[in-house]
């Protein structure tokens, strides 16, 4: 791993031994760093990834950070990605593959200019914190990380996706290919997902929610239908602790009772042994689903009837509601992204 630092930062840290001709490393493991001081009161230490332009910032750095730049970098990287809800296993995998932390002289004026631009944007935002903070700045502008809302910023997600493309977030082992069928009045909204057999049912509900574009926590119950004998409800403790491998191979089917009246039928299509996939993965899908705000199946049926009939008294209202995002048609790429990040939350 190479960190290209400016002479300004080299002076602040007392770094005298910089690689003049550093070896070429993949952009994901190449960073730029600089030190800024605004108005004599707001010092910032910046790191920017060459591949993704993902930026880390340390507010009010002191001797602790300047004296051990390596520890400051990795601590801030971990804290920032965790605050963005990135899977900690992926973070550990990336850090383990960074190799030796080496400093080189920054000779890229374009990269320095980009860092300066981002730093100026941070200054204008006026978001000051004590200690280390993480700032994720996307190509379209700066994005402030709100740890309370725990949103995944676009830039952090790009960094996460880049790790996945490099195989750093792949899961190895046994996978289940599952068909999800949300029961609707006129048919089903179907999704096919590939999930690790080591996941719990609590994680499966997060995947199901993401596959249908739902957010937040609704009530749910898993009903297990074994190959023989009566069905039974999975107890709450088992939902949190039981892995899919302990139930799915032995059952005929599973029904997820979601919210008030919704039923999602889970069918085991096949088992993939010794496989390597991103986890979870949405393989395919078909059919629009109700929005999270629609609590009852009957409410969704009324919505569809009003939306398709210009003579319906609620037609204009329903059309305007659909146009501002209360209802969105199924888009595979968007759903794949939602499923891909569904298990990022810690």
Which residues share a beta bridge with 270? 177
Residue extents of the structural domains in the chain: 2-165, 171-289+330-340
Integer Cα distance of 287 and 264 in angstroms: 13
Contacts of 160 (CB under 8 A, 6+ apart): 81, 84, 86, 87, 90, 152, 169, 341, 344
pLDDT in tens, the chain (346 residues): 999 998 888 888 888 788 878 888 888 899 999 888 766 666 778 888 887 778 787 877 888 888 889 999 999 888 877 766 566 777 887 888 888 999 998 888 888 888 888 777 666 553 433 233 333 333 222 233 333 333 344 556 566 666 655 555 556 678 999 999 999 888 899 999 998 888 889 889 989 988 988 865 568 899 999 998 999 999 888 888 888 999 998 899 999 998 778 899 999 999 988 776 666 889 999 998 887 666 567 777 777 777 778 888 888 877 776 654 556 678 898 888 888 777 754 3
Using alpha carbons, select from 285, 202, 208, 284 the residue that is nearest to residue 247. Answer: 202
Task: Give the Cα separation of 43 and 35 in Å (integer).
Answer: 7
- Taking the C-alpha atoms of residue 107 and residue 199, their distance in angstroms, rounded to an integer, is 46
CA separation for the pair 50, 71 (Å, rounded): 20
Q: Which of 9, 192, 243, 235 is nearest to 112 (CA)?
A: 9
Give the residues across from 183 on adjacent strands. Answer: 188
Superfamily of domain 171-289+330-340: MM3350-like (3.10.290.30)
């Amino acid at each position: 791993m190479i960190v290209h630092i400016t002479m300004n930062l080299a002076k602040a840290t007392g770094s005298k031994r910089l690689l003049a001709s550093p070896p070429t490393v993949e952009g994901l493991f190449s960073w730029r760093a600089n030190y800024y001081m605004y108005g004599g009161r707001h010092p910032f230490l910046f790191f920017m990834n060459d591949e993704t332009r993902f930026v880390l910032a340390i507010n009010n750095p002191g001797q602790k950070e300047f004296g051990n730049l390596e520890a400051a970098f990795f601590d801030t990287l971990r804290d920032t990605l965790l605050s963005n809800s990135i899977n900690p296993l992926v973070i550990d995998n990336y850090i383990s593959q960074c190799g030796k932390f080496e400093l080189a002289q920054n000779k890229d004026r374009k990269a320095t200019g980009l860092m300066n631009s981002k730093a100026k944007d941070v200054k204008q935002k006026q978001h000051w914190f004590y200690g280390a903070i993480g700032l994720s700045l996307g190509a379209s502008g700066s994005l402030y990380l709100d740890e309370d809302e725990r949103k995944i910023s676009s830039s952090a997600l790009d960094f996460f996706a880049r790790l996945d493309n490099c195989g750093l977030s792949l899961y190895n082992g046994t996978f289940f290919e599952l068909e999800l069928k949300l029961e609707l009045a006129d048919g089903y909204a179907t999704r096919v997902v590939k999930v690790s057999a080591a996941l719990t049912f609590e994680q499966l509900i997060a995947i199901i929610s993401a596959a249908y574009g739902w957010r937040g926590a609704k009530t749910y119950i898993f009903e297990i239908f074994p190959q023989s004998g009566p069905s039974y409800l999975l107890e709450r403790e088992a939902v949190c602790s039981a892995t899919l491998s302990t139930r799915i191979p032995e059952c005929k089917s599973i029904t997820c009772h979601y919210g008030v009246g919704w039923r999602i039928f889970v069918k085991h299509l096949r088992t993939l042994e010794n496989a390597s996939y991103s986890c979870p993965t949405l393989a395919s899908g078909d059919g629009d689903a109700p929005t999270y705000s629609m609590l009852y199946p009957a409410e969704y049926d009324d919505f569809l009837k009003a939306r398709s009939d210009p003579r319906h008294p609620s037609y204009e209202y329903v059309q305007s509601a659909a146009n501002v995002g209360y209802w969105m048609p199924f888009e595979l790429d968007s759903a794949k992204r939602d499923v891909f990040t569904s298990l990022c939350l810690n």
